[in-house]
Amino acid sequence: MKQRCINPSNQSYHWYGGRGIKFQKSWSKYSNFLEDLGICPDGLTLERIDPNGDYCKENCKWIPLKEQVKNKRNSRKNRKKFIYSPLEKLCVHCKSDLIKEES
């Protein structure tokens, strides 16, 4: 989380810190993070409820990795810009076109 938000050398920085995503300042100290969210339960991963919001107590929760995978960015290039949409929100026709392109 911290590296994604503050380290421009991190491979994911452009999706997080590069977009302005920050983390709660008190979480600079790991003990404060643990106090707010606790130790990660087995099989779970940190999730931001609002994917455009910052990492903070009110916007984070632990969820199963299977669930978080559904929230990843699926992108499709559109000549001048990228359009982002979770795969499950695309229409049936768009999903089948996207699956064909990925094959």
**36-63, pLDDT tens digit by residue?**
999 999 999 999 999 999 999 999 999 9
Q: DSSP letter for 41, please.
A: P
Q: Tell me, what's the pLDDT at 76?
A: 45
Q: Is residue 39 part of a domain?
A: no
Q: Which residues, given as ranges, of the chain have pLDDT below 50?
A: 75-82, 103
pLDDT of residue 65: 85
Residue 70: predicted pLDDT: 75
Q: Is residue 55 one of the residues assigned to a domain?
A: no
Count up the domains in the chain and report the number: 1
Is 103 domain-assigned? yes
d(C-alpha 3, C-alpha 21), whole Å = 11
pLDDT of residue 78: 37
Distance CA 103, CA 98 (A): 9
What's the confidence (pLDDT) of residue 67? 84
Would you say residue 2 lies in a domain? no
The reply to whether 89 falls in a domain is yes
- Tell me which residue range forms the domain holding 90: 73-103
- Do 10 and 4 meet the contact criterion of CB atoms below 8 Å apart? yes
| 95 occurs within a structural domain | yes
For residue 27, is it within any domain? no
Domain annotation covers residue 14? no
How far, in Å, are 8, 31, 76, 91, 101 from residue 1 at the CA level? 13, 15, 25, 32, 31
